[in-house]
Amino acid sequence: MALKNAMRNRRRSLVTLAITATGTAAALLGGGFALYTYQSLAQASARDTGHLVIAAPGHFDGIDNLPLEHGLEQPESLAQQLLARPDVKRVLPRLQFSGLISNGDKSEIFLGTGVDATQEFVVKGPFMKREAGELLDAQEANGKTAPGIVIGKGLAKILNVQPGSALTLMSTTVNGALNAADVTVTGIVSTGIADIDKRLAMVDLSTAQTLLQTKKVSTLSVYLNDLELADGTAAQLRAQHGASLDVRTWLDQAMFYKSVKSLYDRIFGFLGLIVLVIVLFSVTNTLAMAVMERTREIGTLRAMGATPGEVMRVFTLEGMALGTGGAVTGMALAGGIALFLLVAGVQMPPPPGRTDGYPLAVAVSAPMYAGAVVIVALLSACASWFISRRAAHQSVVEALSHV
């Protein structure tokens, strides 16, 4: 009976379905875009720092009187212990240092990292783009002995260098003395962030340790089999090593991710609230008109023995049918648009502070889609119940005499 009643005035019902479907699709597309952004930023952060970052106590405070004052000693043995765990995929040592880089005519400040050349660029993946030349792992494969360096395209432009150019690195050793090393540019890369590309320099770990005259490293970046294992593994390592090591997860280091997520949660949460209000008013208006048109019918049903609860149940199911139908249609519409965007490869312009655009994609999440259908259906049912309540409790005589 509820489904037949919903199709009595087909034009009005179709308009309600269209409004509900459009609103649901808009909410799902907005939520899908936010979810895709979260996933991309999480992967970028985790690939950059590692799922876990292990350092000596005091390292994350950022207060060092000398370079590597809070560096990790004997990192090889600790890395072997970590690799023995079944949930650990890679352990990459990193040595952070800074200083001046010169082409002989001009000097610039750089922020350098000593890395494991055979694995570093593998974990960076698509979040580090090779602009020219070769990476350090290619140099190692070619068997070249000259120290190589990979620099950001912004720094390469400032120094006016190309792959094969000779540069000099100057930095402070762990003892406070000034040291220098000659290197050859093997490749130029881009992270997509202009400010980082103007200072980025990466050398092999042994080159960095020679420059700083140390065997220490700044941190060990631990890459797990799954991003979701980070919290559990971090808790186990903290319990195992106690105060001798400081263990942080990728989320502890991902300030940009936290800021974007907080902003998008507010923006798309407000968008979703607006959509729900539109759907609520649309269903309420449709059912209010239906109740007014069928007041005498309600009186007839009451005279035949129908209870107010039975009358309200019919209208509630009618509103739920309209809401569910619109939500399912909106779900199909959002899924179709998400698939189209995936196939079409639409590119977004570079956001502020970045030099590269990114693909416009919308994530499809089964829990989000199911939740949208349930919420819209329940809101429609509640609106219908509230609208039909007064008419269902009206006296039979008043209902039958309604004009």
> For all residues of the chain together, what is the average pLDDT?
88
Section 250-279 average pLDDT: 89
Q: What is the pTM of this model?
A: 0.81
Q: Can you give the length of the chain in residues?
A: 403
Q: 382: closest CA among 281, 275, 272?
A: 281
Predicted confidence (pLDDT) at residue 353 exceeds the cutoff of 80: no
The sign of the CA dihedral 181, 184, 186, 188 is: positive
Strands 52-55 and 200-204: unpaired
Q: Are strands 200-204 and 107-115 parallel, antiparallel or unpaired?
A: parallel
Residues forming a β-bridge with 200 = 111
pLDDT at 4: 79
pLDDT at res. 219: 94
SS (H, E, C) 160-224: CCCCCCEEEEEEECCCCCEEEEEEEEEEEEECCEHHHHCCEEEEEHHHHHHHHCCCCECEEEEEE
Three-state secondary-structure class, residue 395: coil
Considering only 67-81, 112-126, 139-153, 182-196, which range has the smallest mean pLDDT? 139-153
Predicted local distance difference test score (pLDDT) of residue 141: 46
Residue 298: the pLDDT is 78
Distance separating alpha carbons of residues 288 and 259, to the nearest angstrom: 43
Residue 134 CB burial class (10 angstroms; 0-12, 13-18, ≥19): middle
Three-class secondary structure assignment of 277-331: HHHHHHHHHHHHHHHHHCHHHHHHHHHCCCCHHHHHHHHHHHHHHHHHHHHHHHH
Higher model confidence: residue 78 or residue 286? 78
Alpha-carbon span 121 to 186, nearest angstrom: 14
Q: CB–CB of 373/332 below 8 Å?
A: no
Could you give the CA distance from residue 297 to residue 306 in angstroms, rounded to a whole number?
11
| CA atoms 320, 322, 323, 328: torsion sign | positive
Q: Confidence class of residue 275 from pLDDT cuts 50, 70 and 90?
A: confident
Average pLDDT of 149-168? 94
With a pLDDT cut of 90, the percent of the chain lying above it is 47
Higher per-residue pLDDT: 314 or 333: 333
Percent of the chain with pLDDT strictly greater than 70? 96
| Spatial separation of the C-alpha atoms in residues 13 and 287, rounded to whole Å | 10
Cα radius of gyration rounded to whole Å, the chain: 31
* Cα–Cα distance, 284 to 291 (Å, whole number): 10
Extract the tokens encoding 313: 């149940």
Q: Are the C-beta atoms of 150 and 162 separated by less than 8 Å?
A: no
Calpha distance 378→385 (Å, rounded): 10
| Distance between CA atoms of residues 18 and 63, nearest Å | 60
Q: Range with the lowest mean pLDDT among 4-8, 311-315, 343-347?
A: 4-8
Torsion of CA 123, 193, 206, 168, to 10 degrees: 150
Dihedral angle, C-alpha 259, 52, 139, 190, nearest 10 °: 0
- Tell which residue, 25, 13, 30, 83, has the closest CA to residue 52: 83
The answer to whether 388 touches 311, Cβ cutoff 8 Å, is yes
Task: Identify the three-state secondary structure at position 111.
Answer: strand
User: Is the confidence at residue 9, as pLDDT, over 80?
Assistant: no
Say if residue 3's pLDDT is above 70. yes
pLDDT of residue 144: 53
Interval 15-41 mean pLDDT:
90
Per residue, the 3-state secondary structure of 62-94, as one string, reads: CCCCCCCCCCECCHHHHHHHHHCCCCEEEEEEE
| pLDDT digits 0-9 by tens, 113-125 | 999 988 998 898 8
Q: Are 51 and 249 in contact (CB under 8 A)?
A: yes
Which two three-digit tokens encode residue 350? Answer: 């570079």
Find the mean pLDDT for residues 163-189: 93
Contact 353, 292 (CB under 8 A): no
